[in-house]
């Protein structure tokens, strides 16, 4: 795919959704961090239901740490892998309190040193909370990048690096949100809705579908 096509794809995505954002619900950087940790192999809808009960009760490192693992589990047990996630969140809270004065750090190295925070989670926080040009590649973005030809790659890291390289600078900060929403609602895994896709004429997918 050439640069002109990529630029037009993101121009249209921006035109349709000028200020995209995550569908996770949060009111602070710390709440976002917790929500993203919980969202691994879970839906944003499921995470939002759990955090809607958790955050009014505890939404600081100190408050969640005070719940303890078993206490936190009661709020998030509807989410997959909740036991391991509870342990990670409690330990992350301890480290935030002890090493960062309860403030979520804004560097990849410090974020990835927290339990439950891998490269993708760190990228989400860096991009969404701190507005850094980081690219979190989940299953939706991996699929859209390969299917459309925007940034094909065999691994998540390869796709991430290509997106950072190829997405026009003016669109890079919000590209993550546009791609994830496009994959979630239009370019779906089982059957992409090519007939109603805003960028169908620019997409290089060879097996286009109709919406019938």
Catalytic residue flag (residue 53): no
pLDDT by residue for the chain (212 residues), tens only, comes to 899 999 999 999 999 999 998 889 999 999 999 999 999 888 899 999 999 999 999 999 999 999 999 999 999 999 989 999 999 999 999 999 999 999 999 999 999 999 999 999 999 999 999 999 889 998 999 999 999 999 999 999 999 999 999 999 999 999 999 999 999 899 999 999 998 999 999 999 998 887 65
CATH class of the domain whose range is 3-20+135-202: mainly alpha
Of the candidates 120, 162, 201, 212, the residue annotated as catalytic is: 120
Binding-site residues sit at 187, 194, 197, 203
User: For the chain, which residues make up each domain, given as ranges?
Assistant: 3-20+135-202, 29-130
The answer to whether 25 and 48 are in contact (CB under 8 A) is yes
Catalytic residue flag (residue 211): no
pTM, full prediction? 0.86
Q: Which CATH architecture describes the domain 29-130?
A: Orthogonal Bundle (1.10)
Binding-site residues for [4Fe-4S] cluster sit at 187, 194, 197, 203
């Amino acid at each position: 795919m050439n640069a002109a096509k990529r630029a037009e794809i993101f121009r249209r995505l921006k035109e349709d959704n000028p200020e995209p954002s995550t569908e996770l619900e949060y009111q602070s950087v710390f709440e976002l961090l917790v929500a993203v940790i919980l969202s691994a192999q879970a839906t944003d809808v499921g995470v939002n239901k759990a955090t809607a009960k958790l955050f009014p009760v505890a939404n600081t490192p100190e408050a969640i740490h005070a719940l303890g693992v078993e206490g936190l589990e009661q709020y998030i047990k509807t989410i997959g892998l909740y036991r391991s996630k509870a342990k990670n969140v409690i330990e992350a809270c301890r480290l935030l309190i002890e090493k960062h004065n309860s403030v979520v750090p804004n560097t990849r190295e410090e974020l990835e040193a927290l339990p439950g925070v891998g490269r993708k989670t760190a990228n989400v926080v860096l991009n969404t909370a701190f507005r850094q040009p980081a690219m979190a590649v989940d299953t939706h973005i991996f699929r859209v990048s390969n299917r459309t030809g925007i940034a094909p790659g065999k691994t998540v890291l390869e796709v991430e690096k290509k997106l950072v390289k190829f997405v026009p600078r003016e669109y890079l900060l919000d590209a993550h949100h546009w791609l994830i929403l496009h994959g979630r609602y239009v370019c779906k895994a089982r059957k992409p809705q090519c007939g109603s896709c805003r960028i169908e004429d620019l997409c290089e997918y060879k097996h286009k579908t109709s919406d019938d």
